[in-house]
Structure 1
Amino acid sequence: MKTKSPIFSVTSWVRRQPPKMKLFLALLSAMAAIMFLRMVVEDHNNLFVAAEVVHALGTCVLIYKLTKEKTCAGISLKSQELTALFLAVRLYCSFVMEYDIHTILDTATLVSTLWVIYMIRFKLMSTYMEDKDNFKIQYVVIPCAVLSLFAHPTTSHISFNRICWAFCVYLEAISVLPQLRLMQNIQIIEPFTAHYVFALGLARFLSSAHWVIQLFDTRVLLLIALGRGIWPCLVLLSEIVQTFILADFCYYYVKSILGGQLVVRLPADVV
């Protein structure tokens, strides 16, 4: 009789739990991971840098897929366009408000994202799943723009720059939704696209960990940097939303990798 592996036993037990228990386990695991990062990472600002690096590496995986396999199947053009938009706005804010290492990383990620868009639109359009990539991006861009007018930083920068900063934070939080909708439509995700989306999930978790740790360790300094009012709460909420949007996919990704599968198979209601 074949003995079941501990990993299989644990994942099977988790799948049998009711939704509220799964949510509790996810929150417990996330907090444990954040506490671990708090102990082992001396400069917590490095977590935000690491998040940007992971995002850039994920985009490099897409570039490898496009050049190696000559297909953009499974990649959401709309998500890439939303990513390019929030990166362009964030890069503008970085130039006029706080030129630093983040500016360099955002520039590299924006250039690589624009290259992905170019390849999909002009080189590999015949393999683009346009009928599956059917998320209406105006449903996320317009609400983000409106929200940024009413909830933005209260720092000393000019109003336009503060509104732009808020807009890119909100848009980044939900820019992955078209990609998730496409994956929900096709359900079987090939390796390179899966690696890219997992990289986004990991980047979002590291970014969330950065803000949560900053909130507990340097609350006063954080409020000085972000301003007061509802804005600091919305920044943290945006980071958490990004993480939980991708949590289900990351679970099935890890499960597939540990099970030795080359593709990720998603249930119809995973995203």
Structure 2
Amino acid sequence: MGLTRGGNRSAIQAVGRWVRKQPTRIKAALAVITAIASLVFLRFVVHDHDNLFVASEAAHAIGIAVLIYKLIKDRTCAGISLKSQELTAIFLAVRLYCSFVMEYDIHTLLDSATLLTTLWVVYMIRFKLRASYMEEKDNFAIYYVVIPCALMSFLIHPSTSHNLINRVSWAFCVYLEAVSVLPQLRLMQNTKIVEPFTAHYVFALGVARFLSCAHWVLQVVDSRGYLLTALGHGLWPPMVLLSEVVQTFILADFCYYYVKSVFGGELVLRLPTGTV
């Protein structure tokens, strides 16, 4: 058993070294092939693809639970980006507003719970554990993402029958969610070493983003493109899909190193220069 486990670990490490040596175009092609294979697998294994979106929100909730455990157990917020948490709270609050006025379903309840726990994390970092907050490392200027997302939401938004404010708000939360993790990735790039609980949290976000993206892509495939027309016309439908793809690939590189670290038996994740 030990030899088998050791052999599997060596094989994974060998594959990891081979992938790392490949040029960027080959790595991108491998990532696309892996994503397509995963989508095909999910299409045949998960019969109701709406469950993928629920699973996405559940994965996000698990990630937040890991952060809460870290804050309570270790009494430190080192390695956690306050700015990412604040961006997450913003897009969740806007999405919750849209959910109340536009649909109100199970996702409204899930978003409510996730928003409350995210606000608690923000409160703990700002007031209770401020001494351990890596403010100098958390140096991503959030207006770099908030302002472009706001401008884009005015230019490209749904063309449904809802009023303009609701449609722009819907677009804003979609765009902001896609890039809300960037401050967290910048902080980890600055520190180079990611402790386990933070790594688990970011990996959970990566899983959540992929499941959400899979939900949209498979829904479009199953409806033979009808879902795109149901979302409206113009640039909005492809922008929804693009936002899902972008937020998935933003975290793909980190998730690769996370999986490699776990299979390598390393408790602390060390990121190479230029990873995120």
TM-score with structure 1 setting the length: 0.97
Structure 1 residue 220 displacement after superposition: 4.7
Q: For residues 156-208 of structure 1, what are the alpha-carbon distances to aligned partners after superposition, in whole Å with 9 as ceiling and x for unaligned? A: 11111010000000000000000000000001000000000000001000011
- Structure 2 residue aligned with 1:212, among 213, 217, 220? 217
Task: Verify: 1:178 aligned to 2:183, yes or no.
Answer: yes
Q: How does 1:27-176 map to 2 (within 5 A)?
A: 27-176=32-181
Distance 2:66 2:12 in 1: 27
Q: Identity across aligned pairs (percent)?
A: 70
Taking the aligned partners of 1:111 and 1:11, their CA distance within structure 2 comes to: 39
| Counterpart code for 1:247 | A
How far residue 128 of structure 1 moved from its aligned partner, in angstroms, is 0.2
Q: Report the equivalent of 2:3.
A: none
Match of 2:204 in 1: 199
**Corresponding letter in the other structure for 1:145:** A
Distance 1:20 1:194 in 2: 26
2:92 and 2:173 in contact (8 A); partners too:
yes
Instruction: Report the residue type matching 1:190 in the other structure.
Output: E
- Per the alignment, in what secondary structure is the counterpart of residue 109 of structure 2? helix
State the one-letter code of the partner of 2:253: D
Structure 2: runs of 5+ lacking an equivalent: 1-5
Range that drifts further, 182-191 or 8-17? 8-17
Alpha carbon RMSD of aligned pairs, Å?
Answer: 1.2
Q: CA deviation at 1:42?
A: 0.7
Deviation string, structure 1 residues 104-147 (Cα, Å, up to 9, x no partner): 11001000000000000110000000000000001110110000
Question: Partners of 2:11 and 2:133 in 1: how far apart?
Answer: 40
Deviation at 1:219, TM superposition (A): 3.8
Q: 1:230 aligns with which of 201, 217, 235?
A: 235
Secondary structure in 2 matching 1:5:
helix
Task: Give the conservation status (yes or no) of the 8 Å contact 2:228–2:238.
Answer: no
Long gaps (5+) in structure 1? none
Whether the 8 Å contact between 2:219 and 2:227 is mirrored in structure 1 is yes
Normalised to the residue count of structure 2, the TM-score between the two structures is 0.96
Moved more, 117-126 or 222-231: 222-231
Pairwise CA distance, 1:223: 2.7
Question: Match for 2:244 among 239, 264, 267?
Answer: 239
Counterpart residue identity of residue 243, structure 2: S
- Equivalents in 2 of 1:97, 1:251: separation in Å? 37
Structure 1 residue identity aligned to 2:139: N
Deviation at 1:268, TM superposition (A): 1.7
Q: What amino acid sits opposite 2:173 in the alignment? A: C
Q: Matched residues in 1 for 2:204 and 2:180: separation?
A: 14
The partner residue of 2:16 within 7, 11, 14 is 11
Letter in 2 for 1:196: Y
Asked if 1:22 is matched to 2:30, the reply is no
Q: What letter matches 2:189 in structure 1?
A: Q
Q: How many residues align?
A: 270
Give yes or no for contact 2:94–2:169 (8 Å, CA) kept in 1: yes
2:229–2:237 contact (8 Å) kept in structure 1: no
Superposed displacement of residue 17, structure 1: 1.1
